[in-house]
Amino acid sequence: MRQRVYLSLGSNTGDRAGNMQTAIKQLSRIGEVIAVSSFYETEPVEFTAQPWFLNCVVSLETANGPAQVLQSALAIEQGMGRTRTQAKGPRNIDIDVLLYGDQVVEEEGLHIPHPALAVRRFVLEPLAEIAPDARHPILKKTSRELLNALPPGQIVRRTTRDPKD
């Protein structure tokens, strides 16, 4: 059975837009890419002494299970040369599984919905752009409702309507 999956992509080193476009193309190995949000330039959170990020959200349909989606995303990161030298530090590509249908998954190394989904403006802005009615399966709120509930804070600026621009 095919599931709708939402993935968050981010890059803050090298050719950020090129890194994201490469990752988006490679996501077709996981399933059918249905929608891609605009790219957003975002200030870093938690570890702030690093370059700003480009972020987007990709929607895809897949027959793969949640663990397979995660493993495929990690393989794309590794294939693109991602190295994990510092937690929350600079990276050429980062791919996180945000939502997998309406499932809740709690396994070692895999938590769906993403634990920080409801508090990250850099995720909710692009998610609400392409899927304003996507519902958080635990909080029972849509991405638009979660976004509207956030306090002012992190700067998130849309850079393009079409990520291919």
Is 91 assigned a catalytic role?
yes
Q: How distant is the alpha carbon of residue 60 from its chain centre? A: 12
Q: Is position 53 within any domain?
A: yes
Q: What's the rounded mean pLDDT across residues 44-53?
A: 80
CB 92 within 8 A of CB 130: no
pLDDT tens column, 51-61: 899 999 999 99
Is residue 92 included in any domain, yes or no?
Answer: yes
In a domain? residue 165: no
Look at residue 44 in the predicted model and tell me its pLDDT.
84
- Which CATH number covers residue 78? 3.30.70.560
Query: What's the whole-number mean pLDDT along residues 40-65?
Result: 90
Which of the 8 DSSP states describes residue 144?
A: H
Q: Of 16, 82, 120, 121, which is the active-site residue?
A: 82
Active site residue 96: yes
pTM of the model as a whole: 0.92
In a domain, 134, yes or no: yes
Q: Which of 16, 94, 120, 121 is catalytic?
A: 94
- Domain residues for 35? 3-160
Reported confidence tier of residue 155, pLDDT bands at 50, 70, 90: confident
Catalytic site residue from 16, 84, 91, 161: 91
Confidence (pLDDT) at 165? 44
Query: For residue 22, is it within any domain?
Result: yes
The answer to whether position 135 is within a domain reads yes
Residue 26 lies in a domain: yes
108 lies in some domain: yes
Q: Is 53 helix (H, G, I), strand (E, B) or coil?
A: strand
Mean pLDDT of all residues in 121-132: 97
Dist. CA 140–CA 55, nearest whole Å:
24
> What is the count of structural domains for the chain?
1
The predicted model gives 122-130 an average pLDDT of 97
